Amino acid sequence: MNRTFTMIKPDAVANKNTGAILDAIIKGGFRIIAMKMLHLTPEKAGAFYEVHKARPFYGELVKYMSSGPIVAAILEKDNAIEDFRKLIGATDPTKAAPGTIRAMFAKSIDANAIHGSDSDENAKIEGDFYFSMMERIG
Ligand code: IDP
Ligand code: MG
């Protein structure tokens, strides 16, 4: 079994899509290992997206990710990273395959409804950013 990390982003929570997105994740075969709702400060959002610091959209991304509550979760499944990226679709929702979470719920390339880790290594770093051992199943 492999793990990935996800966040349901502020636009999706604000638009009342949390339940529908969690349903798609569970029906997609992912087991929720840890989950919580929280509102990131700009400092915490900036730290999470540190890897994107040099990119032109970093400031906007930090502002957006701290604009409202998010739902963070660790998910488990065989081939979790790749399968979850397939389930959420491309970063730009206009390029996301039909039926993917971003195609269904994302509004734009920045407010794109959901995050998914891009590697096993980053899934561990990102999961550890949010969750202690006491907050996980197994
Ligand atoms: P990913 O979320 O599909 O892995 P990344 O390239 O890692 O995409 O970018 C992280 C996040 O930064 C995206 O999910 C999106 O919210 C935001 N982002 C990416 N590219 C752009 C852009 O060109 N303009 C504005 N925001 C962007
Ligand atoms: Mg990424």
Q: Which domains does the chain have, with CATH numbers?
A: 2-135 (3.30.70.141)
Q: Read off the tokens for 50.
A: 């540190």
Q: How confident is the model at residue 40 (pLDDT cuts 50, 70, 90)?
A: very high
**115 assigned to active site:** yes
CA–CA separation, 92 and 28 (whole Å): 21
pLDDT at site 138 = 78
Dump pLDDT digits (tens) for 59-105.
Answer: 999 999 999 999 999 999 999 999 999 999 999 999 999 999 999 99
Write the residue with the smallest CA distance to atom 3 of ligand 1: 91
Q: Is the CB of 118 under 6 A from ligand 1?
A: yes
Site to probe by mutation for ligand 1, drawn from 88, 108, 112 as the one with most ligand atoms within 8 Å of Cβ, is: 112
Residue 1's pLDDT band, with cuts at 50, 70 and 90, is very high
Place of tokens 């982003």: 9
Averaged pLDDT for residues 98-127: 97
CA of 3 to the centre of ligand 1 (A): 21
Residue % of the chain over a pLDDT of 90? 99
Return the residue whose CA atom lies nearest to atom 1 of ligand 1. Answer: 91
Instruction: Give CA 46 to chain center in angstroms.
Output: 15
- 35 and 136 Cβ atoms separated by less than 8 Å: no
Smallest CA-to-CA distance from 14 within 130, 100, 111 is with 111
Residues 52-63: what's their mean pLDDT? 97
Catalytic residue among 34, 61, 115, 126: 115
